Structure 1
Amino acid sequence: MCKRNIIFFVIAIFFCSAKSESIPTLLRDPFLPATAQNQLADHRESPLLSVWIPVYFATADSIKSFLYDPTLSLLSPRGKMHYDAKTNQIWVQDDAAHLHEIQSIVSHLNQSGPQFLIKARILTLDKNYQKELGVLFSTQNQTNNPTQSLNMNMPQNTDQFGQFTLTISKLSENNLLNMQISALEQEGHAKLISSPTLMTLNNQAAAIESGAEVPYEEATSSGATSVSFKKAVLRLQVTPTSMFDHRVLLHIALNQDKVSALIVKGVPAIQTQQITTQVILKNNTTIVLGGILEQSDSVQKIGTPGLNKLPILGGLFNQKTHQIIQQELLIFITPTEVK
Structure 2
Amino acid sequence: MKNFMLCVASAAILSGCAELADRDRNNLEGWRASTILGGGDGRTAARSEGRIVSGQVVEAGNGTIYPGRQSLFRDSDFVNSTGERTVSLNLVDVSIAEAAAAILGELLRENYVLDPAVTGTVNIRSSQPISRTTAIEVFELALKQNNAALVRRGDSFAIVPLSGELSIGASVTREVPIGYSLRVIPLRHIGAQEMATILQPFAGGNIVGVDAQRNIIVLAGTSADQRAWQETVTSFDVDWLANRSVGVFPIRGRSAQSIVNGLDLVVETDANFEPIVVFEVIPENNSILAVAKTPSALQNVSTWIRRLTQEGQNDAQVYSYDMKYARASDIAPTLAQILGVQVETADSGTANTESADFVNASFSGDQNATRIVASEATNTLLIHATNDEYQRVLGMLHRLDVPPRQVLVEATIVEVSLNDELRYGVQYFFENNGNTGALTRSSTDLSIGSEVPGFSAVFGGATPEVIVDALEDVTSVNVVSSPNLMILNNESARLVVGDQVPISVQTATDATDDSDVFVSTVEFRDTGVIFEVTPRINSSGSVVLDIQQEVSTIGETDGSTGNPIISQRTISSAIAVDSGETIALGGLFEQRSTNGTSGLPGLARQPIWGGLFGRQSRTDSQTELLVLITPRIVNSNVDTRRITRNLRERMQNIRLDDATLSNTINTPSMATANSADIASRRATQTRNASAQGDVLAAVQTAVQAQPATTGTHFTYFGAFSNEQAARAHWSELLASNGSDLAGLQPRFTNDNGTISVAVGPMDASRASQLCVTIRSDCFSTGG
Give the shorter-chain TM-score range. 0.5 to 0.7
Answer yes or no: is the 8 Å Cα contact 2:463–2:582 preserved in 1: no
Question: Higher relative contact order by CA 8 Å / sep ≥ 6: 1 or 2?
Answer: 1
Would the alpha carbon gap of residues 277 and 216 (structure 1) be closer, same or farther in structure 2, given more than 3 Å must change? closer
Structure 2 vs 1, CA of residues 197 and 242 (structure 1 numbering), >3 Å: closer, same or farther? same
Q: Deviations over 1:176-203 (max 9, x none)?
A: 8269459959x99333222211122344
Structure 1 residue 279: Cα displacement: 3.0
Structural mapping, 1:93-132, within 5 Å:
93-112=384-403, 114-128=405-419
**CA drift at 1:299:** 0.5
Q: Secondary structure at the match of 2:339?
A: coil
Partner of 1:199: 486
Deviations 1:75-102 (A, max 9, x none): 6323332323454332333344433432
Q: How does 1:235-314 map to 2 (within 5 A)?
A: 235-244=531-540, 246-255=541-550, 276-305=572-601, 308=604, 314=610
Q: Which amino acid aligns with 1:291?
A: G
Residue 527 of structure 2 aligns with which residue? 232
Contact 1:129–1:189 under 8 Å retained in 2: no
Residue 59 to residue 311, structure 1, CA distance change in 2 (3 Å):
closer
Matched, 1:66 2:354: no
How far off is 1:219 after superposition? 6.7
Q: Which of these residues, 609, 613, 623, is aligned with residue 317 of structure 1?
A: 613
Deviation of the 1:319 alpha carbon: 1.0
- What is the distance in 1 between the residues matched to 2:608 and 2:564? 44
CA deviations 1:234-284 (Å, max 9, x no partner) are 33314142443x543333344566768668866668787765433333321
CA distance in 2, matches of 1:153, 1:111: 34
> Cα–Cα, structure 1 residues 63 and 144, in superposed 2: closer, same or farther, change >3 Å?
same
Larger Rg: 2
1:88 equivalent in structure 2: 379
Pairing of 1:20-169 with structure 2 (within 5 A): 46-51=315-320, 53-69=321-337, 72-73=339-340, 76-77=363-364, 78-112=369-403, 114-128=405-419, 136-137=426-427, 147=441, 165-169=453-457
Q: State the 1:323 CA deviation.
A: 0.7
- The answer to whether the Cα contact below 8 Å between 1:120 and 1:331 also exists between their aligned partners in 2 is yes
Q: Give CA-to-partner distance per residue, 1:104-139, whole Å, 9 cap, x none.
A: 3212322236432111112222123996xxx8236x
Aligned-pair CA distance for 1:226: 7.6
Query: Which AA in structure 2 matches 1:215?
Result: P
| Matched residue SS, 1:321 | strand
Q: Which SS does the other structure have where 2:330 is aligned? A: helix
Provide the residue aligned with 1:190 in structure 2: 477
Task: Please tell me the residue identity of whatever aligns with 1:72.
Answer: L
Q: How many residues align?
A: 279
Matched, 1:330 2:597: no
| In structure 2, distance between residues paired with 1:188 and 1:212 | 29
Alpha-carbon spacing, 1:96–1:275, altered in 2? closer, same or farther (3 Å): same
**For residues 166 and 176 of structure 1, what CA distance do their matches in structure 2 show?**
19
Question: How far apart, CA to CA, are the structure 1 residues paired with 2:332 and 2:632?
Answer: 32
Would the alpha carbon gap of residues 266 and 84 (structure 1) be closer, same or farther in structure 2, given more than 3 Å must change? farther
Give the Cα–Cα distance (whole angstroms) in 2 for the partners of residues 206 and 55 of structure 1: 26
Quickly say closer, same or farther: Cα 1:167–1:149, change in 2 above 3 A: farther
Change (3 A) 1:56 1:193: farther
Contact 2:412 2:464 in 1 (8 A): no
Can you list the C-alpha shifts for 1:281-337, whole angstroms capped at 9, x where unaligned? 332111111122233221101113577479976523321110112222221111112
Q: TM-score, normalised by structure 1?
A: 0.62
Consecutive unaligned residues of structure 2, counting only runs of 5 or more, are 1-311, 343-362, 436-440, 636-783
Structure 1 82/276 Cα, relative in aligned 2: closer, same or farther at 3 Å? Answer: farther
Q: Give the distance between the partners of 1:89 and 1:275, measured in 2 at CA.
A: 43
- State the 1:65 CA deviation: 1.6
Query: Are the structure 2 counterparts of residues 279 and 305 from structure 1 closer, same or farther at C-alpha, using a change threshold of 3 Å?
Result: closer
Question: Secondary structure, in 3 states, of the residue corresponding to 2:398?
Answer: helix
Distance 1:204 1:255 in 2: 19
Q: Which has the higher helix share?
A: 2
Q: Aligned pair in 2 of structure 1 residues 153, 207: CA closer, same or farther (>3 Å)?
A: closer
Confirm or deny: 8 A CA contact 1:122 1:195 kept in the other structure.
yes
Q: Which residue of 1 aligns with 2:458?
A: 170
The answer on whether the counterparts of 2:490 and 2:535 sit within 8 Å (CA) in structure 1 is yes
Moved more, 256-265 or 86-95: 256-265
Residues in 1 aligned to 2:427 and 2:471: alpha-carbon distance in whole angstroms: 20
TM-score by length of 2: 0.30
> 8 Å contact 1:259–1:270 — kept in the other structure?
yes
Q: 1:324 to 1:254 in 2, by over 3 A?
A: same
**RMSD of Structure 2 on Structure 1 (CA):** 4.6
Identity of aligned residues (%): 22
Counterpart of 2:455, as a letter, is T
Alignment partners' CA distance in 2, 1:251 and 1:310: 54
Q: In the aligned structure 1, how far is the partner of 2:606 from the partner of 2:565?
A: 45
Question: AA paired with 2:339?
Answer: L
Tell me the distance in 2 between the aligned counterparts of 1:85 and 1:130: 63
| Counterpart-to-counterpart distance in 2, 1:143 and 1:181 | 17
1:213, distance to aligned residue in structure 2 (A): 1.2
Distance 1:97 1:311 in 2: 94
Whole-Å separation in 2 of the counterparts to 1:232 and 1:54: 46
Bigger proportion of residues as strand: 1
Partner SS state of residue 61, structure 1 = helix
Q: Does 1:212 align with 2:499?
A: yes
**Contact 1:243–1:249, Cα closer than 8 Å, also in 2:** no
**Residue 35 of structure 1 aligns with which residue?**
none
Q: Structure 1 residues 68 and 327, CA, compared in 2 at 3 Å: closer, same or farther?
A: same
Partner amino acid, structure 2, of 1:321: S
Change (3 A) 1:115 1:286: same
